[in-house]
Amino acid sequence: MKLRLPLLFWFFVLAISCNPRREVATDPAYVKEVDEWHAHRVESLKGPNGWLNIAGLFWLRDGMNSFGKGKDNTLVFPEAISFDKAGYFSLENGWVRQTLLPGVTLTLNGSPVSGTQVVFHPDSTRQPVMEFGSLRWFIIRRDTKYGVRLRDLNHPDLQHFSGIDRYPVDARWKVTARWEETPGRTIPITNVLGQTTPQPAPGVLVFTLEDKEFRLDALDEGGDELFIIFSDATNTRETYGAGRYLYVPKPRDGVVTVDFNRAENPPCAFTEFATCPLPPAQNVMDIPVYAGEKEYKHH
C-alpha cells in the first residue's frame, strides 16, 4: 500500500495538469464584479428595449404596405393591435411614411397621432417609436432594406426566460492586449442577411492565450468601448454557433483589457428577428474559450 500511494498521487496531479478547463485562483471581488455586470445585462435583455420582447421584423417593399392583425395585410401584426387593418406604410426613395386609417389612433414618441407621419428619412438619427397597447414598433435600415421592427412588452419569452448559463468566472480569461492602431481603416463585416458593409476598425488587439498569439480586429461603434465579434472552438457545441460578442474599453497607453468572462450571446441567440453581424475570418480563434455566456436555451 505504501508503494501505491505515491503513484496514485502523481496520477492525480497529471490528470489535473492536463485538464484544459481547470480554473485558477480568482479574486472573489473580481467574480462579484463580473456577476454584477451580467446581472445588469440580464435586466437589459428583459427591459423594454431588450431582445426578449422582439415579436417581428417586416421588410418593406416599395410602395404601400398595409398592416394590422388581419391575415390579408402585407404586415400581419399580433392580435394585440386590435385593428384588422390599422393603416399602411409607404416606402419611397428611402422615406417611410405611416398612414393610419380613419378612427385609428396610436402614440408616436408618447403623443397621440392619426393620419400620416414621416417615420423614417435618409437623415434620421433616431427613429420615432409607435405604440399601441403592449406593442411598439419603429423602422430599421439594413443597407438597401427597410423594415419594421416590432416589440411586444407582453411577449411570452419574457415570462419563460430563466437566465443564461455561463462558464465559471475565471481570471485566466482576462488578458492584457497590445493595441496596434490602424487609423482610418475599415473592414468588411457580413450580417446574417448576407449583406456586407465596411465598418470602422481603428485597431487590432494582440494578446496571448493558451501559449498562442491572437490578433482580433476591433470595431468602433462610436461609444466609449470597442466591439469585438469573435468565434472559437466552443461554438456549435457549448456556445452560440455563429460566434459571440465582446465589448472592451478603448485603449489607454497602448493597451486594452480583454475580458472573455464578459463574452455574450449575440441578439440572434434570443430572437430570429435580429440582423446580427458575423465574425470576420481574422477573428476566428482556434482554441476553446471556456468563458462568458453559453448558448441560450429557449424554453
Per-residue pLDDT at 10: 40
Is the pTM higher than 0.75? The answer reads yes
CB atoms within 10 A of CB 15: 10
The two beta strands, 196-200 and 186-190, are antiparallel
Cα 114 to Cα 100: distance, rounded to the nearest angstrom? 6
Per-residue pLDDT at 298: 75
Are 52 and 46 contacting, i.e. CB atoms less than 8 angstroms apart?
yes
Q: Where are the domains of the chain?
A: 54-154, 164-283
Q: Is the pLDDT of residue 197 over 60?
A: yes
Which residue in the block uniquely carries the three cell numbers 500511494? 5
Cα 295 to Cα 93: distance, rounded to the nearest angstrom? 40
Q: Encode pLDDT of 217-272 as tens digits.
A: 999 999 899 999 999 999 989 999 999 999 999 999 999 999 999 999 999 999 99
Cα 232 to Cα 243: distance, rounded to the nearest angstrom? 7
Residue type, 146: Y
Percent of the chain with pLDDT over 70: 91
Q: Encode pLDDT of 115-168 as tens digits.
A: 999 999 988 788 899 999 999 999 999 999 999 999 999 999 999 999 999 999
Mean pLDDT of 270-275: 97
Per-residue pLDDT at 2: 40
Which of 3-12, 55-64, 84-93, 147-156 has the lowest average pLDDT? Answer: 3-12
Q: Is the pLDDT of residue 64 over 90?
A: yes
**Fold topology of 54-154:** Tumour Suppressor Smad4 (2.60.200)
Q: Is the pLDDT of residue 11 over 90?
A: no
The three cell numbers locating residue 104: 385609428
Q: Which of 167, 166, 168, 158 is nearest to 299 (CA)?
A: 158
Average pLDDT, rounded, for the chain: 92
Q: Is the pLDDT of residue 23 over 70?
A: no
